[in-house]
Amino acid sequence: MARAILILLLFPLAFYLAPRAVALVRTPTNLNESLDHGRAYNPRIVVIADHERNTLAALAALDRMDAALARVRRTDAEVADQLRALVGQIRIQVQPVLNQTNAQVGDLLGSLDDLEGQLNSLTDPVHRIGGTVIGDREDLGRILAQAHLIAGEVHRARESARSGADNVAGPSR
């Protein structure tokens, strides 16, 4: 009895499943016939299908390009963050040193200006003294020349006096 019930249940199920199984088996054949009819109607359908495959492959390339652009944007954001951090470090660490150095250089330039002023104030008296020394040297040179002339005349006068005394008294030796 169980067999009879099972056969009775399988019989309507077979009517239901049989056409679907036949349709599944015939689907590739139907597709091939459809392609043949499509090729007969439009011979360029194969070329169009190839173009469609290439287009779909290109769309995959677009996805890869989007991924690459996303990576570039992330890298750009990381570089921008690192540059901001570097600028912050420069402001915090280097700027005070530069400000202090600038102040010290300003002080040094002020000191050099003061020293230059002092040297310039000494230059005029040194030039005047140099001119005076040159004038005094010329005067001393004339005085020495005059003294040499006088010493020569004194020497000649002494020689003349000795020679006159020798004449009058005879040689004194």
CA distance 129 to 122: 11
Q: Which tokens hold the place of 98?
A: 């530069």
Tell me if 10 is assigned to some domain. no
Q: Which tokens hold the place of 70?
A: 């996303």
Tell me if 121 is assigned to some domain. yes
CA distance 162 to 173: 12
pLDDT at 169 over 70: no
What global pTM score does this model have?
0.34
Summarised one tens digit per residue, pLDDT across range 149-162 is 999 999 998 888 88
Query: Once rounded to an integer, what is the mean pLDDT over residues 21-44?
Result: 83
Full domain range(s) for residue 122? 18-166
Tell me if 173 is assigned to some domain. no
Summarised one tens digit per residue, pLDDT across range 40-97 is 887 787 788 888 888 888 888 888 888 999 999 999 999 999 999 999 988 888 888 8
DSSP-assigned letter for residue 42: -
Question: 13: which residues sit within 8 A by CB, 6+ positions away?
Answer: none
Tell me if 95 is assigned to some domain. yes
CA distance 150 to 137: 19
What pLDDT does 4 receive? Answer: 84
Tell me if 6 is assigned to some domain. no
Q: Which tokens hold the place of 71?
A: 């990576």
Tell me if 12 is assigned to some domain. no
What pLDDT does 77 receive? Answer: 93
What pLDDT does 3 receive? Answer: 85
26-54 CB burial, b ≥16 within 10 A, e <16: eeeeeeeeeeeeeeeeeeeeeeeeeeeee
Q: What total number of domains does the chain contain?
A: 1
Tell me if 146 is assigned to some domain. yes
Q: Assign 170 a pLDDT band (cuts: 50, 70, 90).
A: low
What pLDDT does 171 receive? Answer: 59
Summarised one tens digit per residue, pLDDT across range 94-150 is 888 888 888 898 898 899 889 888 888 877 777 788 778 888 888 888 898 998 999
Helix, strand or coil, per DSSP, at residue 170: coil
Tell me if 105 is assigned to some domain. yes
